[in-house]
């Protein structure tokens, strides 16, 4: 069975990227657009669908799969109308953040999350509380516009602050501390799950047939690991951009125990990621800092660099990943191809999720 042609979309904090590709093949076509200033919900939706439409003259995909920066915030009321801005990431001084015990979430203890941000918003304006019906992020909002489903993947859920790694579900304690109903959080599905198909309105917006299947997809971090073939505990994927992030990904029955300066993310059934991040301009030699944090817990043997040159990383294990393999849309296409072929849970390998 040949791998399906997939329209893979990666929504970052500054750029929206899309590509038509099959697993193991170069992109048939690719496009990009800036993330809209002001982060208005409709503006983000129109930018994403316009990027998809640009690709349609190069071929008709069998499916659509979506990835996005993790950790943002989207609030909707009971009519599914937006409340406030669509935030791709949380920019909040930790000292000003609402105090929450997120020990079981896997998030770094000194880094604000969507849970912190929402707690601060509700504390500043209690009248918002009865209006907030659905709580998610950018990816969840876009999946709802595409299919009508309110759904997330484990990695994106892990970055929110609301997730409980030990149970693999939303934390009732954190929801109570913030003051929201956990029923308003998305359903959690593995990345290779088809969560629905394009609605008639979404199909018109994307210039795709109604009924085109949509995979759940994954956050941008694990997608980068998959693109770089960094899918075992000995290989770290180092991404250099506004934030410098290092992440290792591998199979475990239970989540790894890490310190407060690292994060743990549930990627898929039986798969976990451990990572560390810093603002690139905030510290000297950010790559070394994040690699040392992970290296104290995981036996890293090789470092695969994306979003920057390996010559900028003072580490003899580092090597750059080629531009095509570094493209996050490649990781998304691998998930979709592996999911289409699998008979049980997806397994990330250098060749994809099989």
Band (1; pLDDT cuts 50, 70, 90) = low
- Contacts of residue 192, defined as CB under 8 A and 6 or more positions apart, other chains included, come to 215, 216, 268, 335, 336, 338, 339, 342, 346, 353
- Contacts of residue 18, defined as CB under 8 A and 6 or more positions apart, other chains included, come to 7, 8, 9, 10, 30, 31, 32, 48, 51, 52, 54, 55, 329
Long-range interactions of 45-51: CB distance < 8 A, separation 24+ = 45/142, 45/145, 45/205, 46/205, 47/16, 48/9, 48/11, 48/16, 48/18, 48/142, 49/202, 49/205, 49/206, 51/9, 51/16, 51/17, 51/18
pLDDT at 350: 47
pLDDT at 326: 63
If one compares 354 and 130, the residue with the highest pLDDT of the two is: 130
Burial grade of 311 (CB within 10 A; 0-12, 13-18, 19 or more): exposed
Report the distance separating Cα 34 and Cα 29, nearest Å. Answer: 18
Which helix (H) or strand (E) covers residue 153, if one does? Answer: none
- Res 317 pLDDT > 80: no
What CATH number matches the domain at 6-220+329-353, 3.30.420.40, 3.40.50.2000, 3.40.50.1980, 3.90.1570.30?
3.30.420.40
- Res 143 pLDDT > 90: yes
What global pTM score does this model have? Answer: 0.91
**For the chain, the helix, strand and coil percentages under 3-state DSSP, each to the nearest 5:** 30, 30, 40
| Among the listed residues 5, 35, 14, 58, the one whose alpha carbon sits nearest the alpha carbon of residue 241 | 14
Q: Distances in Å between the alpha carbon of 245 and those of 48, 107, 108, 238?
A: 25, 14, 13, 6
pLDDT at 341: 55
Band (146; pLDDT cuts 50, 70, 90) = very high
- Res 184 pLDDT > 80: yes
- Res 263 pLDDT > 90: yes
Arithmetic mean of pLDDT, 238-264: 86
> Highest-confidence range of 1-10, 95-104, 183-192, 329-338, by mean pLDDT?
183-192
- Res 351 pLDDT > 70: no
- Res 259 pLDDT > 90: no
pLDDT at 274: 94
pLDDT at 46: 95
If one compares 228 and 99, the residue with the highest pLDDT of the two is: 228
| Among the listed residues 331, 341, 351, the one whose alpha carbon sits nearest the alpha carbon of residue 65 | 331
Residue 122 backbone phi and psi in degrees, to 5: -70, -30
| Among the listed residues 42, 29, 13, the one whose alpha carbon sits nearest the alpha carbon of residue 205 | 42
Alpha helices by DSSP H, listed for 79-199, are 114-124, 138-147, 154-158, 172-178
pLDDT at 35: 87
If one compares 353 and 283, the residue with the highest pLDDT of the two is: 283
Q: How far is CA 162 from the centre of its chain?
A: 15
pLDDT at 336: 79
List the chain domain ranges.
6-220+329-353, 221-326
Arithmetic mean of pLDDT, 93-118: 78
Band (337; pLDDT cuts 50, 70, 90) = confident
Q: Kindly report, residue by residue over 19-78, the tens digit of the pLDDT.
A: 998 877 778 888 888 888 777 899 999 999 999 999 988 989 999 999 998 989 999 999
Q: Kindly report, residue by residue over 116-139, the tens digit of the pLDDT.
A: 999 989 999 999 999 999 999 999
Report the distance separating Cα 134 and Cα 225, nearest Å. Answer: 30
Q: Kindly report, residue by residue over 292-313, the tens digit of the pLDDT.
A: 999 888 889 998 888 766 556 7
What's the chain's length in residues? 354
């Amino acid at each position: 069975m040949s791998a399906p042609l997939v329209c893979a979309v990666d929504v970052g904090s500054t750029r929206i990227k899309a590509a038509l590709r099959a697993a193991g093949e170069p992109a048939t076509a690719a496009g990009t657009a800036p993330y809209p200033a002001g982060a208005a919900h409709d503006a983000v939706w129109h930018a994403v669908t316009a990027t998809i439409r640009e690709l349609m003259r190069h071929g008709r995909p069998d499916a659509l799969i979506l990835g996005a920066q993790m950790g943002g915030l989207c609030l909707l009321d009971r009519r599914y109308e937006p409340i406030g801005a669509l935030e791709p990431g949380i920019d909040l001084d930790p000292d000003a953040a609402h105090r929450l015990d997120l020990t079981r979430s896997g998030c770094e203890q000194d880094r604000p999350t969507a849970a912190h941000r929402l707690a601060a918003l509700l504390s500043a304006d209690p009248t918002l509380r009865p209006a907030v019906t659905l709580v998610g992020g950018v990816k969840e909002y876009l999946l709802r516009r595409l299919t009508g489903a309110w759904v997330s993947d484990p990695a994106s859920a892990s970055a929110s602050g609301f997730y409980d790694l030990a149970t693999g579900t939303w934390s009732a304690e954190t929801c109570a501390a913030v003051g929201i109903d956990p029923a308003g959080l998305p359903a959690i599905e593995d990345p290779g799950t088809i969560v629905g198909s394009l609605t008639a309105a979404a199909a018109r917006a994307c210039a795709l047939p109604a009924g085109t299947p949509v995979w759940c997809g994954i956050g941008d971090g694990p997608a980068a690991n998959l693109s770089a073939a960094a899918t075992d505990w000995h290989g770290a994927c180092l991404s250099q951009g506004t934030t410098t992030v290092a992440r290792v990904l591998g199979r475990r029955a239970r989540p790894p125990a890490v310190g407060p300066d690292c994060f743990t993310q549930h990627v898929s059934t039986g798969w976990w990621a451990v990572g560390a991040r810093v603002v690139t301009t905030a510290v000297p030699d950010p790559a070394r800092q994040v690699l040392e944090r992970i290296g104290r817990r995981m036996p890293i043997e090789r470092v695969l660099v994306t979003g920057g040159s390996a010559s900028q990383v003072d580490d003899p294990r580092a090597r750059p990943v080629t531009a095509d393999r570094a493209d996050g849309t490649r990781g998304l296409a691998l998930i979709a191809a592996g999911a289409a072929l699998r008979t049980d849970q997806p397994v990330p390998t250098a060749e994809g999720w099989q």
